């Protein structure tokens, strides 16, 4: 019976990726190895995030541990875990982290064909109150392993091979695209394995939720202000949309992917490029959205067509259900 099969025939993330790779005869397992290192780092961060509240309660955080060392802040710790896991995979050449000003070039003996851009622990304002936070990553192919350069990561998002995020929420959820759809996995803590729980995620064509920091409304441009007004006071007889805003991109995007709707981090007068970073926030989430049947738009163009000039460049972003993004595109087109 198929219900039994689900319980005894577990599709782990490793098994899933190996299956996918077997469709590409040229593949030699490098991607599977890289991904297993990313997954290990996510499990480590998940366990640290889960313990963080307790550590504080019993007086560990911010104090010295038995070795007399300062306890590391969660975001610093997560960054170290990811950098070390990625380098030790032996499959990376360049790493770009939101935590580090400069890119990390892997030493020649440990180099491999991939470049990874990532935000090790996004949603910093939510760390200390136990609200969902996450890791976001994107993967590019290096042009020449013998001579990696910044040009290898200053690529449009459409050149990414894979992207995903891990959400540290009420459960630990890993969402991945390798360019043929989107799949979601949930950590089974008793096994320590991510199990396929959300196969082939498709975002609803139109949603009932909008997600934006409305506290910035005073500084918005015309199309954004008009769009949000229309979410609340629709003119076509439809019901107003609900507002949901967590302030953790991973959590807000995850809900958007599953329930539909639109997530906006627009430009405003104070931040003309918005807040979110192109390489490790905008691109991976845009890639996932498109692969799930949605869209991602910057206010000027398809987000994945952007060519970043700097590692930590920012861009406005509107992403989510196909029809909802279509509306905001029309408003910006009318303005141009």
Positions in the binding site for ligand AHM (CB under 6 A): 122-125, 213, 247-249, 252, 265, 275
Q: CA triplet 94, 175, 137: central angle to 5 degrees? A: 20
Judged by beta carbon, residue 142 or residue 282, the one nearer ligand AHM is 282
In terms of CB distance, is 37 or 275 closer to ligand AHM? 275
Q: Where are the beta strands (DSSP E) in the chain?
A: 92-97, 104-105, 111-122, 133-141, 162-168, 172-177, 182-188, 193-198, 209-211, 242-243, 262-265, 295-297, 317-320
Least distance to ligand AHM from the beta carbon of 207, Å?
A: 17
221-243 burial string, b = 16+ CB within 10 Å, else e?
Answer: bebbbebbebbeeeeeeeeebee
Q: Which two tokens stand for residue 261?
A: 């709707």
Environment class of 293 (CB within 10 Å of its CB; exposed 0-12, middle 13-18, buried 19+):
middle
Task: Count residues near Mg ion (CB under 5 A).
Answer: 2
Least distance in Å: CB of 45 to ligand AHM? 14
What is the length of the chain? 336
Select from ligand AHM, Mg ion, none the partner in contact with residue 275, using the beta carbon and a kind-dependent cut-off of 5 to 8 Å.
ligand AHM
Nearer to ligand AHM, 123 or 316 (CB): 123
Query: Per rule CB under 5 A, is residue 75 in the interface with Mg ion?
Result: no
Would you give the end-to-end CA distance of the chain in angstroms?
A: 58
Q: Which does 71 bind (CB under 5 to 8 A by kind): ligand AHM, Mg ion, none?
A: none
Smallest separation, CB 160 to ligand AHM (Å):
19
- 294 membership: H or E segment, kind and range: none
Instruction: Select 173 or 248, whichever has its Cβ closest to ligand AHM.
Output: 248
Smallest gap from residue 53 Cβ to ligand AHM (A): 18
Measured CA to CA, the distance from residue 134 to residue 150 in angstroms comes to 26
Rounded Cα–Cα distance for residues 60 and 277 (Å): 32
Nearer to ligand AHM, 223 or 274 (CB): 274
Contacted entry of ligand AHM, Mg ion, none for residue 32, CB cut-off 5 to 8 Å set by kind: none
Q: How near is the Cβ of 127 to Mg ion at its closest, in Å?
A: 11
Closer Cβ to ligand AHM, 181 or 247, answer by number: 247
Among candidate residues 121, 130, 159, the one with its CA nearest the CA of residue 142: 159
Per partner kind, with CB cut-offs from 5 to 8 A, the member of Mg ion, ligand AHM, none near residue 248 is ligand AHM
Residues in region 99-128 near Mg ion by CB under 5 A: 119, 122
CA 277 to centroid of chain Cα atoms: 11
Write out the residues near Mg ion by the rule CB under 5 A: 119, 122
């Amino acid at each position: 019976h198929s219900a039994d099969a689900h319980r005894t025939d577990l599709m782990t993330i490793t098994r899933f990726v190996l299956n996918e790779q077997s469709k590409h005869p040229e593949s030699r397992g490098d991607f599977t190895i890289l991904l297993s290192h990313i997954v290990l780092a996510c499990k480590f961060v998940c366990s640290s995030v889960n313990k963080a509240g307790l550590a504080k309660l019993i007086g560990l955080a911010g104090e010295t541990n038995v070795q007399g060392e300062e306890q590391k802040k969660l975001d610093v710790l997560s960054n170290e875990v990811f950098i070390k896991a990625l380098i030790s995979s032996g499959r990376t050449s360049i790493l770009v982290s939101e935590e580090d000003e400069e890119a990390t070039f892997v030493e020649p003996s440990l180099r491999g064909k991939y470049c990874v851009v990532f935000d090790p622990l996004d949603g910093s304002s939510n760390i200390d109150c136990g609200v969902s936070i996450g890791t976001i990553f994107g993967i590019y192919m290096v042009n020449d392993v013998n001579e990696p350069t910044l040009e290898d990561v200053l690529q449009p998002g459409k050149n990414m091979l894979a992207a995903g995020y891990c959400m540290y929420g009420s459960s630990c959820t890993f969402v991945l695209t390798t360019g043929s759809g989107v799949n979601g996995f949930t950590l089974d803590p008793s096994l320590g394995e991510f199990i396929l729980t959300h196969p082939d995620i498709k975002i609803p064509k139109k949603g009932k939720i909008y997600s934006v920091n409305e506290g910035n409304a005073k500084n918005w441009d015309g199309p954004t202000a008009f769009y949000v007004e229309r979410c609340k006071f629709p003119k076509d007889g439809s019901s107003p949309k609900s507002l949901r805003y967590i302030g953790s991109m991973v959590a807000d995007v995850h809900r958007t992917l599953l329930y539909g709707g639109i997530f906006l981090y627009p430009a405003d007068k104070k931040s003309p490029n918005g807040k979110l970073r192109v390489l490790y926030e905008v691109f991976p989430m845009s890639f996932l959205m498109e692969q799930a049947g949605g869209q991602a738009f910057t206010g000027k163009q398809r987000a994945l067509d952007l060519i970043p000039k700097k590692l930590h460049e920012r861009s406005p972003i509107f992403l989510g259900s196909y029809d909802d993004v279509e509306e905001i595109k029309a408003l910006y087109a009318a303005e141009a």
